[in-house]
Amino acid sequence: MPEGLTLSLGIVIVLAVVFDFINGFHDTANAIATSVSTRVLRPAVAIVMAAALNFAGALVSDKVAKTISGGLVQGSVATRVVVAALIGAIVWDLITWRLGLPSSSSHALVGALIGAAIVDVMSFQHIIWKGLLDKVVLPLVLSPVAGFVFGFIIMKFLFFALRRLSQRAVNRYFSKLQILSAALMAFSHGTNDAQKSMGIITLALIGQGLLRPKSDVPPWVIILCATAMALGTSVGGWRIIKTIGMNMIKLQPVNGFAAETAGALVIEASALMGMNSSTTHVISSSIMGVGAAKRFSAVRWNVVKSMVYAWVITLPVTALIGGGAVFLIKLVMR
């Protein structure tokens, strides 16, 4: 922990850990929904595996964390802005979890941060619009499209390659392979999502003068956030697991393998480029692509429609919540 720890910084760290924990159980479905729905893994085993690999994935990169801490808002940010951003993201995560909607924790945090930063100074001038466009908005649009396309192509290839095998043989082989794809998806989730809270704590440390702008993420922050996400993952998010793995499309092991492989490839590529993509959006769209490869009507598009509504409104709604939170904090602090 840093020297010069203040009460306000302590609040940021606690809220960031809470956000990471909620992100863990909110987004557990990203890694294990297909494995659970195809009965390749028992829920308890799937959750333990996802928790361990979420932790491991969170340790390997900090590029997305640097986008959060220095690529969206110029200069030092007041601690109240960071607190408001975390409050906004937590509120949205809990609302969508209660409704069983697989929305993006990542975009909830970014939206709340942007809204809080704008309301705090009543100006748009501190927002790095190019960073917001390149690292958040474009991935918001392009990563689900990439997930859908990759899922569709991989599934079409598998249909062709396995056309001479019986369904029983395919299920036998891919019930094993799907464990590997689920493991890769869990690792990718840790690589991408745990970095959001790493970035927000680093942003608060910079704001209090304890780190220089664009500093690397301190090791203790990495360990803390990785641990919180792993613990949250161990709780499991059954409502969202049901929506992704069961309500949207009926899955077989080969379908789960295709969706998880496609999703993990897109997420890893995005994380390497420091883009703030959503694991929720990517795996959901990958499943849509896999279903569409079978036949368009295999996807329950009414479920998809409600999910896409949640995706579209996440940034503006959380910006309003974050802005409202920082406004209330300033009123209380007068």
pLDDT of the residue at 160: 93
Q: Are 307 and 285 in contact (CB under 8 A)?
A: no
Distance CA 62, CA 24 (A): 18
pLDDT at 99: 76
Distance CA 78, CA 127 (A): 14
Cα atoms in the Cβ-side hemisphere of radius 13 Å centred on 249: 26
pTM of the model: 0.80
Contact 277, 110 (CB under 8 A): no
Once rounded to an integer, what is the mean pLDDT over residues 267-277? 81
Count Cα atoms within 13 angstroms, Cβ side, for 130: 1
Q: Which has the higher per-residue pLDDT, 109 or 154?
A: 154
User: Between these two residues, 73 and 15, which has the higher pLDDT value?
Assistant: 15
The confidence score (pLDDT) of residue 327 equals 94
Residue owning tokens 């970035």: 199
> In sequence order, which residues have a C-beta less than 8 Å from that of residue 209 and are 6 or more positions away?
76
The whole-number average pLDDT for the span 54-79 is: 77
- In the block, tokens 């745990």 appear at 194
Assign 43 a pLDDT band (cuts: 50, 70, 90): confident
Furthest C-alpha separation in the chain: 73
Whether the pLDDT of residue 275 is over 90: the answer is no
| pLDDT reported for residue 309 | 78
- Cα separation values, 15 from 199, 228, 304, Å: 13, 11, 31
3-state percent helix, strand, coil for the chain, nearest multiple of 5: 80, 0, 20
DSSP assigned state of 334 = -
Question: Rounded distance, CA 333 to CA 319, Å?
Answer: 21
- Residue keyed to tokens 């910079």: 206
b/e 255-287 (16+ beta carbons within 10 angstroms → b)? bbbbbbbbbbbbbbebbeebbbbbbbbbbbbbb
Q: Which residue has the higher pLDDT, 31 or 314?
A: 314
pLDDT given for residue 129 in this prediction: 87
User: What tens digit of pLDDT does each residue of 103-120 get?
Assistant: 777 888 889 999 999 999
Evaluate whether 263 touches 188 at the Cβ level (below 8 Å). yes
Choose between 47 and 150: higher pLDDT. Answer: 150
Q: What pLDDT score was predicted for residue 116?
A: 94
Distances (CA, A) of 206 to 29, 42, 203: 33, 43, 5
Q: Which range in 204-208, 221-225, 250-254, 326-330 is most confidently predicted, on average pLDDT? A: 326-330
Q: What is the pLDDT of residue 2?
A: 59
pLDDT exceeds cutoff 70 at 238: no
Crossing angle for the helix pair 253-272 and 28-37, nearest 10 degrees? 160
Helix (H) / strand (E) containing 41: none
d(CA 153, CA 114) in angstroms, rounded, equals 36
What is the rounded CA–CA span in Å between residue 280 and residue 99? 15
Give dist(CA 18, CA 271) in Å, integer: 23
Work out the angle at residue 153's Cα, subtended by the Cα atoms of residues 151 and 154, and round it to the nearest 5 degrees.
65
Q: Rounded to whole angstroms, how far apart are CA atoms 128 and 73? A: 5
Annotate 8-37 with DSSP letters as a single string: HHHHHHHHHHHHHHHHHHHSHHHHHHHHHH
Residue 243 above 70 pLDDT?
no
Count of other CB atoms within 10 angstroms of residue 316: 12
